[in-house]
Amino acid sequence: MEEKVTTKPKADKPRGFYCLLTAAVVVSGIAVFVGLSEHKTSSSLELPWWKTTIIYQVYPRSFKDSDGDGIGDIKGIISKLDYFVYLNIKALWLSPFYKSPMADFGYDISNHTDVDSIFGSLEDVDQLIEEAHARGIRIIIDFVPNHTSDKHVWFEKSLQNDDKYKDYYIWADDIVTSGGSRKPPNNWLSVFSGSAWTWNENRSQFYYHAFLTKQPDLNFRNTDVIDDMKGVLRFWLERGVDGIRVDALQKLFEVTDLSLNEPPSNAKEYHEHQYNYLNHPYTESLPETFEVVTRWKDVMNEFENKDGISRFMVIETYEQPSQRNIYYDHGAVPYNFDLIMDVTSECGGLCIRDVLEKEYSNLPPGAWPTFVLGNHDRNRVSKKFGLEFVNVYNMLLLTLWGTPTTYYGEELGMEEIQVSFEDTQDPQGLKQGKEYYAEFSRDPCRSPMQWTSSVQSGFSTSPTPWLPVHGHYRTVNVEVQKNSKSLSPLQLYRKLAFLREHPSFQTGSLQYVVVNKNILSYVRGSDGEGRFLVAMNFGHKTSTDNYSIHPVNTEKGTVVVTTSSLNSEEKNTRSLKDISLLPGSGIIIKL
């Protein structure tokens, strides 16, 4: 039985950082040696909680069903909190659980301050926060400001031209063609395919929706909208949540001149109804967004100033560093999706090093990096890179400098399910039609969490969960991997999660060692706090290399973690001059 930890999270106070570029330049507290390909943070700092933990994304529908209806819920998450203690996870990010018609599985919110009955109640969320905090686990929730459900009371009042709510959304008059038919004001496309404009008879106008027709976009040029969303944020902070992940922030503003058509992308692989057929200068990443983010941070600071505990705001934005890093100046941390977007199965050591440097070398002074390999919208690691690379990518994620986020089930090496068009649930896939649905559907990466070898892998007692459990659940599940005699992906992940507690991985430097088309390796730490060599093979050939070179500067070390079970020889001191790594394997050696 797992021991229950009852220590509450300690109050923490964020500290600053400083940056060293070949010369020592001090700017508020952390050292980052970019000019020497070394990235370093001061070990003397007291870091806020979100810089020291792994963030684990829970997709509530798919995590654990407590009532047998085939859909995961809040009580199900509560029942599994000790699993996170076992894994040494100290922060959970929950995808939406708000009241919703579920047109987009909770991202179409009809009440931002209530819980949908399929997930439970407000009291269940209160219990989750209390029990998580009792175990030293923080709670981060999805904050969805860009749009609401068309069933939200704000939209219903906007339809009626209510004095307060008539301009809560983006409305536009039609263009009457020579043939007398109605035409939207411009060519803007929905992310989910087709026109981003829908005609409404009540108002005799079109309304804009960046996503589904049932997800009208809010008008953030209306100060009442800004104030109401700040009220939503206060509501959840008062209930004890520790942070927010801001959804779809790039789409928050649109230009005021609705006659402007967006230009074609000239990407030949997309059809004219698909979102990427166009570029989006008028509907993405407008500068007004930064001021709204600052206002949200002001709300979080109100709570932080009361108790001295950091509140965390991380944002979803698929942008290049020059654009996304501006958010640091406004109190938010942008998710860095470069490992998702820029790394393929053919990307070896050199390629991954370049992707990491894209993040590290572009960080502004005082900024703290983030890394993520997948989420509810993207392919699982096993799908993108192959099953044999799951362990080495987890090793990469958990040993880098910065805050890592893990999507549920990646610690097991869960695989994606196959879903026919007829059984597809995801509206993004359905909107593309039978010919293209498989390319766009997000159902495959959202299958139920695999807990045991029993029926439905212990996820639910329902014979028909909302998505099917993967067929390999009898051998790939928490119970089997936890009790495995040989090193399982889960056991390896746990070892890495506890190793991250060492100061060398919390605040130590990162210096590259051997980097080639197969191998990526680096040293974490310093002489004062201890140094660790991390070496990983992301290529497709075995590589034998000498790791005793600079900056290792020693010929021997002690193996502490490998992607396979340690034998008796590896537990002893071993030579660093000729380490051989198979494709998909990795090793960590204490120097």
- Catalytic residue, chosen from 262, 316, 411, 426, is 316
What is the C-alpha to C-alpha distance for residues 168 and 145, in angstroms, rounded to an integer? Answer: 12
What is the C-alpha to C-alpha distance for residues 402 and 53, in angstroms, rounded to an integer? Answer: 9
C-alpha to C-alpha distances, 119 to 76, 446, 465, nearest whole angstrom: 9, 16, 14
**542, 582 in Cβ contact below 8 A?**
yes
How many other CB atoms are there within 10 angstroms of residue 230's CB atom? 16
Look up residue 561 and give its two tokens.
């973690």
What is the C-alpha to C-alpha distance for residues 397 and 234, in angstroms, rounded to an integer? Answer: 32
List the helix and strand counts (H, then E) for the chain: 17, 24
Look up 359 and say whether it is catalytic: no
C-alpha to C-alpha distances, 363 to 333, 368, 370, nearest whole angstrom: 11, 8, 11
Per-domain boundaries in the chain: 50-148+226-256+284-495, 509-590
What is the C-alpha to C-alpha distance for residues 508 and 456, in angstroms, rounded to an integer? Answer: 43
Write the DSSP symbol of residue 23: S
Pairing of strands 556-562, 586-590: antiparallel
pLDDT string in tens for the chain (591-residue length): 333 333 333 334 332 322 322 222 222 223 333 333 566 654 436 899 999 999 999 999 999 999 999 999 999 999 999 999 999 999 999 999 999 999 999 999 999 999 999 999 999 999 999 999 999 999 999 999 999 999 999 999 999 999 999 999 999 999 876 667 789 999 999 999 999 999 999 999 999 999 999 999 999 999 999 999 999 999 999 999 999 999 999 999 999 999 999 999 999 999 999 999 999 999 999 999 999 999 999 999 999 999 999 999 999 999 999 899 999 999 999 999 999 999 999 999 999 999 999 999 999 998 999 999 999 999 999 999 999 999 999 999 999 999 999 999 999 999 999 999 999 999 999 988 999 999 999 999 999 999 999 999 999 999 999 999 999 999 999 999 999 999 999 999 999 999 999 999 998 789 999 999 999 999 999 888 899 999 999 999 999 999 999 999 999 999 999 998 655 445 678 899 999 999 999 999 999
- SS3 assignment, position 51: helix
Look up 291 and say whether it is catalytic: no
Pairing of strands 573-575, 556-562: antiparallel
**pLDDT 10s digits, 484-514:** 999 999 999 999 999 999 999 998 789 999 9
Which residue is listed with tokens 């509907």?
A: 283
What is the C-alpha to C-alpha distance for residues 156 and 142, in angstroms, rounded to an integer? Answer: 24
Are domains 50-148+226-256+284-495 and 509-590 of this chain identical in fold? Answer: no
pLDDT of residue 9: 39
Q: For helices 390-399 and 489-499, what crossing angle results, to 10°? A: 10
What is the C-alpha to C-alpha distance for residues 492 and 479, in angstroms, rounded to an integer? Answer: 15
C-alpha to C-alpha distances, 196 to 66, 180, 184, 476, 496, nearest whole angstrom: 38, 21, 9, 41, 45
Q: List the CATH code of the domain at 50-148+226-256+284-495.
A: 3.20.20.80
Look up residue 522 and give its two tokens.
């680096």
Cis peptide before 551 (omega within 30 of 0): yes
**499, 589 in Cβ contact below 8 A?**
no
pLDDT of residue 415: 98
- Catalytic residue, chosen from 247, 354, 357, 570, is 247
What is the C-alpha to C-alpha distance for residues 145 and 57, in angstroms, rounded to an integer? Answer: 19
Radius of gyration of the chain (CA): 24
What is the C-alpha to C-alpha distance for residues 409 and 398, in angstroms, rounded to an integer? Answer: 15
According to CATH, the topology of domain 509-590 is: Immunoglobulin-like (2.60.40)
C-alpha to C-alpha distances, 54 to 31, 220, 399, 515, 529, nearest whole angstrom: 22, 33, 11, 26, 21
What is the C-alpha to C-alpha distance for residues 526 and 523, in angstroms, rounded to an integer? Answer: 9
What is the C-alpha to C-alpha distance for residues 136 and 181, in angstroms, rounded to an integer? Answer: 60
Look up residue 355 and give its two tokens.
């992707």
How many residues appear in the chain? 591
Helices (H), 73-165: 74-79, 81-87, 122-134, 153-159
What is the C-alpha to C-alpha distance for residues 393 and 280, in angstroms, rounded to an integer? Answer: 33
